[in-house]
Structure 1
């Protein structure tokens, strides 16, 4: 048996075992859900970074606007790592502009905690912030 075929069979066995045990595996984590984000209050949100940088305002229509705060382009591909009622984690890659991993933990429909890290414009970034609905979008 060729080495490549053995690796594929091995991956299938590990994936099947993890799935049977109820563990998250890459094939099942990609489901387009993010239901927690759909439940966030729509409108203008203010993001207060824990490092003291200037507050940022974002118009939230779907909640997904909070995932790629360092990468604005829609051409980024996303991989859902965690998708639960109170927390989501998304890893994304933006061709030619870097990548990131963002965790959003819901406290209420109008208050979330954000953690994100990655590479943007060739430079590393990492931040923690609180995002709160502060009004209607302009």
Structure 2
């Protein structure tokens, strides 16, 4: 009954378009903010007591999306894409999933919050990412 009414009103195409606009593949369009981050050596400082410091060579800001599932082929859905922040949900079939929020303060400074499941175990972390130089130094 609902769909019949919607078809008569001609609103079904608009409803389908609206639903499709809510979930955009992460590596298609969008996420321009991540493309504007500087490449090079980055330091990720986890917040909290005894926060670990990780270094990585960042050649593409999109790598910050799945830090706990690095190098895995995962499907992505953009939940939110704004000029200075993005939220992406991803699933790595048989290996887990995650949801990452990244806020850019500058092209060399970001705030990252991520949580999910990796290899059957939960993870959750908040970190500050900062460009610290060139890769290999």
Calculate the TM-score normalised by the size of structure 2: 0.81
Structure 2 equivalent of residue 77 of structure 1: 75
Decide whether the 8 Å contact of 1:73 with 1:94 is kept in 2.
no
**Equivalent residue number for residue 117 of structure 2:** 119
Where does residue 98 of structure 1 map in the other structure?
A: 96
1:22 corresponds to: none
Summarize the alignment of residues 15-34 of structure 1 with structure 2, pairs less than 5 Å apart: 16=15, 19=18, 25=19, 27-28=20-21, 29-30=23-24, 32-34=29-31
- Number of aligned residues: 125
SS in 2 for 1:70: helix
CA shift for structure 1 position 76: 0.7
- Residues 58 and 65 in structure 1, CA contact (< 8 A), matched pair in contact too: no
RMSD over equivalenced CA pairs, Å: 2.4
2:46 corresponds to 1:49: yes
TM-score by length of 1: 0.81
Residue pair 1:43, 1:60 contacting (<8 A) in 2 also = yes
Residue 122 to residue 135, structure 1, CA distance change in 2 (3 Å): same
